[in-house]
Amino acid sequence: MKRPIFDPAWPEDIKALYKHDVREIWDLTIAKHIWNQYHNQLEIYMALAEGFGPLTILDVGCAQGTLALLLAEQGHEVWAVDIRQQFLDYAASRYERGTIHFKCGNALELDLGKSFDLIFANQIVEHLLNPFGFISRLSQWLKPGGRLVVTTPNAEYVKNGLPSFAELGDTRNLESRQFSADGDGHFFAYRADELKGIFEESGLTDVAVRFFETPFISGHMKIRYLHRLIPSRVFGVLDRAVLSFSSSKRIAHQLMVSGAIKCDLLNNGKLATCS
């Protein structure tokens, strides 16, 4: 994956994407806590595809395409989907190797004509007001034994100030805030039981919940000031230790819910094929 080259002619949304990209992936000195946070997320996502032969993977709402590009470089065939063509163009400019297909469109309306072993929808469901339709649509693209993975901010996090999905009530006045491109578009979050229930109502089985990203990784609660002084691996150890407690949902910023079609099994948090 190539480092992006800044172009002053870019529109403002691509300049903002570039700014995020550089501090998340390429320059540790800008904001080390953001670099740690993003790399921690990537490690969690990439681990779900480890230990298998080449998989067919869909990344919905791929933005700058970092996860999709890295998965392609690992030998998987990847489809990267986003509603914004300019984001896909930016992602394609960083391509180096692997098999990846860029597709522009709304996942609720696209017909990809493909089925997938693994589908990621990371940090997108909190921008949508019809999660049932979204999860159901993605589940239709899974192969038997395939798995859908959705991540989103955790409503039960001690620092969360947003309402949960169930607390929104009448959502008609919120429709204009859908499909927003950045974190500023977050106007609600999910509790684990809410999102798990949506998975189950959509016909997915073996639904699993995982909490991740404590303040040791996110830098919340002013811990970010320590990131420049203490090695990242120390925060990783502390993060895993805190998450080992049953009450970790109150101290985890992020929530992952995954579910399978038919005979898929979850083995130590990773995708497993049917026996």
Predicted confidence (pLDDT) per residue in 52-63, tens digit: 889 999 999 999
**Helix-then-strand count for the chain, H and E:** 8, 9
Please state, for a pLDDT cut of 70, what percent of the chain lies above it. Answer: 89
What does 202-240 look like in DSSP terms, one character per residue? TT-EEEEEEEE--HHHH-TTTGGGGTTTS-HHHHHHHHH
- Position 269 pLDDT exceeds 50: no
CB contact at 8 A, 211 and 201: no
Q: Which residues contact 220 (CB under 8 A, 6 or more apart)?
A: 159, 253
pLDDT band at 5 (very low <50, low <70, confident <90, very high): very high
Per-domain residue ranges of the chain = 12-262
Give me the helix-helix angle, 32-47 and 66-73, nearest 10°.
50
pLDDT tens per residue, range 170-222: 766 666 666 554 445 577 899 999 999 999 999 999 999 999 999 999 999 99
- Position 122 pLDDT exceeds 50: yes
**Tell me, what's the pLDDT at 173?**
66
- Position 27 pLDDT exceeds 80: yes
Burial of 184 from C-beta contacts in 10 A (0-12 / 13-18 / 19+): exposed
**Tell me, what's the pLDDT at 270?**
47
How far separated are the first and last CA of the chain, in Å rounded?
35
Average pLDDT score, the chain: 89
Fold of 12-262: Rossmann fold (3.40.50)
**Tell me, what's the pLDDT at 178?**
62
Q: Which tops the pLDDT comparison, 106 or 170?
A: 106
CB contact at 8 A, 156 and 222: no
The pTM of the full predicted model, rounded to 2 decimals, is 0.90
Q: Across residues 221-235, what is the average pLDDT? A: 94
**Tell me, what's the pLDDT at 152?**
96
- Position 94 pLDDT exceeds 50: yes
Taking CA atoms, 56 is separated from 15, 49, 71, 100, 139, in Å, by 31, 10, 10, 10, 14
